[in-house]
Amino acid sequence: MSGGSVVWWLIPSACLTLGAIYFLRLSHKIRDALRESEARLRESEARLRLASDAADVGIWTCHLTRNEIWASDKWRELFGFESSEPLDFEAIVQRVHPDDRGRLRQAHTEAAHNENDGGYDAQYRLVLPNGSTRWLALRGRVERDSSGQPFLLRGAASDITTHKHIELAARDFSARLLSAQEDERRRIARELHDNVSQQMAVLAMGIDRVALTPNEPPAAMARSFDELRGLAAGISTQLHNLSHRLYSSKLEMLGLAAAINGHCREISTPALTVRFHQENVPGLLPREVQLCLFRVVQEALNNVIKHSESREAHVTLSGTKDALLLRISDTGRGFDEREALQSGIGLLSMRERLRMIEGDLTIQSRPGHGTTVIARVPIAAHAVKATTSA
C-alpha cells in the first residue's frame, strides 16, 4: 500500500475518532446539564415544601388526562393519606363529606369549563379515617394546553376548622341573641299590657268615680284619694323597675359601684339576700366598661334567681393595678358548665359583651356546689383614678 493510500485510509478513522470524542463530550455536557436541572428542581421542590409547611398549606397537582396526582406531605396530612398511599381523584372525593361532594365537583367542573378564568375556590368538610371532621379551604386553577384543552389541575388546601367552628358558633349565637331579643320585647309588651295598662285603666276609672261623686263625705273621699295614690305609686314603681332593667340611670349619674349596689338592694327579697362589696374601684371608668359589667351583674343575678335556689349571693367589685375584677357567687344548685354554655344565651351574652371590651369571663360551677362568675377587664393605669374602698 502506497503512502497516499495510507493517508486516505486514516482520514475516515480520524474523523470517526473525533466524532466519538465530540459525541462523548456532548453527552457529558447533557448529563451535567440534566444533573444541574435535577438539582435545581429538587431545590425548587424543597423551597416549595418549606414555604407550604411554613404557611401551613398543602399543595397538589393532578394531570387530568393521565389521572396522575402529586401531593405534598402537608396535603397528605390534611387529607389523612399516608406518604406512600396511591392517590386518585375519586379516592380524594370519597374523603369529602357526602353533603359537600357535589359542591367540590361543581367547582372543578366550572374551572375546567374556564369559568372564573379557570380558577376555583371552595370550602368543604373532610371525614378522616378516624371519623373526625375537618374543614378545608381549597383554591386552585386549571391549566390548558396549546389547543385550549384542560390538562393540569393545581391546588392548595389549608385547615380552617377552628375558624369555621368560630364562624358557626357566632352565627348560632347571633340567631339565639335575636330570638332572645324578640322574647324580651314580647315580655315587655306583655308586662305593659297585662299590668301597667290595666292598672292605668283602673286608675282612670277611679278618678272618674271620684269626679262623679263630688258630694261624697270627706272621710270616704280621703279613702278614695288614698286608694288612687297607692295605685299611682304602684304603677310608678312598675315603670321604674321596667325602665331600670332596660337601662340604669344610677349608672350614668352615680357610677358603676353605686349602680350595682342599688341593683343588689332592689332584687334582694326574704328568699334571696344579695350582698355587695367594693374595694379599690377606679373612679373614672369608660362608659362601655361600666355598662358591660352592670349587664353582667344583671344577667348573673337573674340566673341566680331563676335557677340556683340559693338563699344568698355575693357581688364583689375590686380594682387592681391593671384590671377590674367582678365576682358574683352563690351557694345554690350549680350546673354543668359545658351544657350551660351550649344551651344558655345568658352566659354566652356575658362572654360576648366582655370580649367586645377585651375582657374575659371565667365560670366555676359544679352540680350541688354553687356557682362563681368572674369577669376581668384590663384597665390602663393612666386612664383610671382609684377611690377609697367602701
Per-residue pLDDT of 305-343, as tens digits, reads 988 889 999 999 999 888 899 999 999 988 876 665 555
pTM recorded for the entire structure:
0.48
Q: What is the pLDDT of residue 86?
A: 86
Q: What is the pLDDT of residue 33?
A: 62
- How many CB atoms neighbour CB 320 within 10 A? 14
CA 239 to chain centre: 37
Determine which of 44-48, 149-153, 285-289 has the lowest per-residue pLDDT on average.
44-48
334, HSE (Cβ side, Cα atoms, 13 Å): 13
Report residue 34 as a C-alpha cell.
Answer: 440534566
Spatial CB neighbours of 158, under 8 Å, sequence gap ≥ 6: 55, 56, 57, 58, 78, 136, 137
Report residue 100 as a C-alpha cell.
Answer: 359537600
Is the predicted pLDDT of residue 242 greater than 50, yes or no? yes
Higher local confidence (pLDDT), 237 or 276: 276
Q: What is the pLDDT of residue 375?
A: 94
Is the predicted pLDDT of residue 217 greater than 80, yes or no? yes
Is the predicted pLDDT of residue 374 greater than 90, yes or no? yes
Name the band, by pLDDT with cuts 50, 70 and 90, for residue 45: low
Q: What is the pLDDT of residue 275?
A: 95
The mean pLDDT value for 259-268 works out to: 90
Name the band, by pLDDT with cuts 50, 70 and 90, for residue 17: low
Name the band, by pLDDT with cuts 50, 70 and 90, for residue 388: very low
Q: What is the pLDDT of residues 99-148, one digit of tens each?
A: 988 888 887 777 777 766 777 888 889 998 888 899 998 888 888 888 88
> Over the chain, what HEC string results?
CCHHHHHHHHHHHHHHHHHHHHHHHHHHHHHHHHHHHHHHHHHHHHHHHHHHHHCCEEEEEEECCCCEEEECHHHHHHHCCCCCCCCCHHHHHHHECCCCHHHHHHHHHHHHCCHHHHEEEEEEEEECCCCCEEEEEEEEEEEECCCCCEEEEEEEEEECHHHHHHHHHHHHHHHHHHHHHHHHHHHHHHHHHHHHHHHHHHHHHHHHHHHHCCCCCHHHHHHHHHHHHHHHHHHHHHHHHHHHHHCCHHHHHHCHHHHHHHHHHHHCECCEEEEEEEECCECCCCHHHHHHHHHHHHHHHHHHHHHHCCCEEEEEEEECCCEEEEEEEECCCCCCHHHHHHHCHHHHHHHHHHHHCCCEEEEEECCCCCEEEEEEEECCHHHCCECCCC
CATH, range 36-159: 3.30.450.20
Third-level CATH fold of 248-390:
Heat Shock Protein 90 (3.30.565)
Report residue 193 as a C-alpha cell.
Answer: 299590657
Q: What is the pLDDT of residue 23?
A: 62
Report residue 302 as a C-alpha cell.
Answer: 337573674
Is the predicted pLDDT of residue 52 greater than 70, yes or no? no
Rounded CA separation 354/133 (Å): 30
Is the predicted pLDDT of residue 213 greater than 90, yes or no? no
Is the predicted pLDDT of residue 385 greater than 50, yes or no? no
Q: What is the pLDDT of residue 371?
A: 92
Q: What is the pLDDT of residue 312?
A: 93
Q: What is the pLDDT of residue 390?
A: 42
- Over pLDDT 90: what percentage of the chain? 14
Q: Do the beta carbons of residue 140 and residue 59 sit within 8 Å?
A: no
